[in-house]
A and B are shown apart, each in its own frame.
Chain A
């Protein structure tokens, strides 16, 4: 009698576990059979009322059923927990379907590049100095040893304003401005908008973002310029970036250099971007001209230093392989949202 009822109990319980569709139902099944007053529990707790001969056998059987049910219930619970019911093992998730991205905006590529430049130079002890977009003739030209009425001035096509100022053609006016108010030794970079009165095309723009750099101390040399500039370009474009200095001319530096880096597209082998030369012109530099030091209130014999300047658009175009400089100020979201 007991034996039959135990077997029946087992089958009944098994069926109910399988039928349970939610974890609440499963709990009910558990309580019904294995809870404090559950049917199996009752069998086990009433063992001592049985004859000694039957006790061991029934006890063993009941314990087996208990273990069996516990396993079944746990397995089912796990399947609820992990979301896959034992019935639908074939269910799957297409993990290649695109994720749902949170809506995050985009910083302008020039901001991204600008931050990178600022981080690199700040880590080498350079402070960031800013000065006005509207500039005087003095700081933009005269203080920088760019003579009036001289073709040298024609290198900077200038927007003049009716209030007597002009739009700075470079961020170099920051050099005499900073030197006029700070004592050497000094190390600065000067970011900002610059303006050139020229027609635009894929590689020319009338408003640009430029960085100048300046370091002045007792014994600052071309060798030091090479070290800092080399470090910058390696950190910016990658460890394998090479660079070279060639003679150039700027009225505010003497000697003056053109700085080119090894072409990042062809690694210097020659390609259309570098016009087969293997080199890309990216910056101008030189040793600060004694007249500029003088105009800034320094005694040229006591101090020497170097300065450099480069356009941020040029660096961004190389870094992101952008082929038209006008995109930066186009406000075109199809472009901006790629960054």
Chain B
């Protein structure tokens, strides 16, 4: 998370002059964290530093950044003054008692009491520092609590002792239907997930997040109770999410904080209050800290350090870096060191963590680039990607443009295309209704692409190869494409040449028999759609989009679509390809034109021709289909080139004439078929 730091404030930790703000930012970026912006403000500079979650526990504070600067630049930083002059006549215990109900939720609660404070405005220097860091000054006691939080990272709170009922503070989870009004007059309904600070009667603060209005410090406040506590990160995170309330305090707690910080921070706060607002500090720190957290010891093997970073760092150097960062080196053997980790470093528990510390301070730029020494294991060929690439290339060469669409669609599309709730995978937290479901088909988004482009392009040919999703939890690759301003035969030809180049033979087209329970039926034009089949398995569809859908989407013109299961298709692909010997004998071409009823399929005519010619016909090309006024009603004319060729001899004109004659005879056997001569 990004936090703003004052350059002047950071400077106050050092006797020596720090590098200029830009140079300081560079140093921090190379060894610590990203500085996203430097802004000049009055005589100060503000540094926006992106503190990563791992360093939030110890670096969401000026002290934390000062420690980093000291370690990187190898200079000393000043220890903050916390020396208190306690009043022997007053005992903190006489003013307040503390009870922590849940020790997991609140591992430590420390409090101090200060009497006879003079609440009033803060001095200018203090106000200025709060303002540059984005906080609004209120009064000296509240301001000091905020100031010490920005300084040390420990969130603090102050209560007016006279406003608490029963001279008691209880840390507990809220009861159902309890309410609180916070300092900024917001009302919240609480429940048993929210940890609160309460007096004997009611919640007076949302623990670790925000104080309540009721016991706030005002100009009449004489006695203050200071709270410096440590709360469980998950408890605060839950409360904060539940109440939708994020504060400077909650952000710090939800990342985790060192319980050992509370005492130092409350002493610093008390010291400043006494200095600025006067008052008498009651003797005794009230401290509920049942399970003291002690420092971890981590052992680091220096050979491992070298092996992981790929650079040798001398033991002395490594030790010095760790000490600069506040680690204690307890023992050091020939090739290893034992290190005591300061408790503020919640992120360090493994040797790798220490290696990172040594590496970044030493400088990653000092690590050389060395190619790995490794067995020569050839990479596995990824056939999925291989066939995807070939498919895309073929379609590209055929004039199609590849699109990438979102993997989502909305309720509108689901309904339009007839998908039922139970087939769909719904997004729990969609960005908008437009993206409420994972797409079960590529088609709706492809049709949307037409909407996007039809003003600029008369002809559109696009395709997508991407994932589709189906309830409960399956996903697979699908290939779909469309052509606007073309005929069915055109796209069929594209599919045929795609199949040919993928080495797939044996695919055929079947007339689409819509079954009412199928969602797909709504997509296709009922009379102008083919199922693409291999053996008896359907692998895709080819046809016109239903006019109903085009109407609904306001698309003008004819749209031909193909939609192929790419998982099935890629199972059929083959790189094997066998050459067919070229015939040494000449071929001869004869044309034939047949007048047939409109509903006769070309395939029927072709089959009859091949049946007669068998291996003596190399190819039959349909070169014209004609339906027109000059023809008798309900008829069409089909014209073919028949290419005769034998593998073993030259066909004589006589032989060819005979074959052609037989073909004509067979064709004319059909009632209403007429060969035109």
Contacts and interface: CB of A to CB of B under 8 A. Distances in A.
Contacts of B452: 330-333
A221 B307 contact: yes
Contacts of A217: 372, 374
Contacts of B379: 122, 125-128, 187
Contact of A207 (B238, B406, B425): B406
A290 B475 contact: no
Interface in A101-126: 103-108, 110-111, 115, 118, 122, 125-126
B367 A223 contact: yes
Contact of A227 (B29, B34, B369): B369
A161 B360 contact: no
B473 interface: yes
A71 to B, nearest CB: 40
Contact of A223 (B33, B310, B401): B310
Interface string B335-365: 0000000000000001011011001100011
A134 B469 contact: yes
A100 interface: no
Contacts of B467: 133, 193
Interface string B368-388: 111111111111101011000
Interface stretch (A1-9, A84-92, A149-157): A149-157
Interface string B422-466: 000111111100010010000001001100110011001110000
B396 A104 contact: yes
B365 A245 contact: yes
Contacts of B407: 133, 167, 193, 195, 207
A170 interface: no
A185 to B, nearest CB: 6
A222 B435 CA distance: 41
A224 B33 CA distance: 23
Interface stretch (A36-44, A50-58, A253-261): A253-261
A247 B32 contact: yes
- Specify which of B31, B352, B377, B445 lies most central, judged by the most chain A CB atoms within 10 Å of its CB: B352
- Specify which of B378, B402, B425, B472 lies most central, judged by the most chain A CB atoms within 10 Å of its CB: B402
Interface in A148-197: 149-152, 154-155, 159-165, 167, 185, 187, 193, 195, 197
A162 B310 contact: no
Contacts of A155: 53
- Specify which of B254, B308, B350, B445 lies most central, judged by the most chain A CB atoms within 10 Å of its CB: B308
A12 interface: no
Given A228-B371, A249-B55, A333-B462, A128 B385 contact: yes
A255 B395 contact: no
Contacts of B31: 247
B612 interface: no
Given A105-B396, A185-B375, A223-B367, A162 B307 contact: no
Contact of B405 (A152, A290, A329, A337): A329
B460 A333 contact: yes
Contacts of A150: 53, 233-234, 237
Nearest to B251: A151
Contacts of A257: 364
B296 interface: no
A274 to B, nearest CB: 13
Interface string B524-565: 000000000000000000000000000000000000000000
A328 interface: yes
Nearest to A146: B53
For the complex of A and B, 9 pairs with smallest distance between CB atoms? A223-B310, A221-B310, A255-B356, A249-B52, A331-B449, A226-B369, A160-B428, A224-B372, A223-B370
Given A159-B429, A334-B453, 6 more contacts: A207-B406, A223-B309, A244-B364, A331-B462, A333-B453, A336-B403
Interface of A: 103-108, 110-111, 115, 118, 122, 125-130, 132-134, 149-152, 154-155, 159-165, 167, 185, 187, 193, 195, 197, 199, 206-207, 209, 215, 217, 219-224, 226-228, 230, 244-249, 251, 254-258, 287, 289-290, 304, 328-334, 336-337
Interface of B: 1, 29-34, 52-56, 233-234, 237-238, 254-255, 307-311, 350, 352-353, 355-356, 359-360, 364-365, 367-380, 382, 384-385, 389, 392-393, 395-408, 425-431, 435, 438, 445, 448-449, 452-453, 456-457, 460-462, 467, 469, 471-473, 475
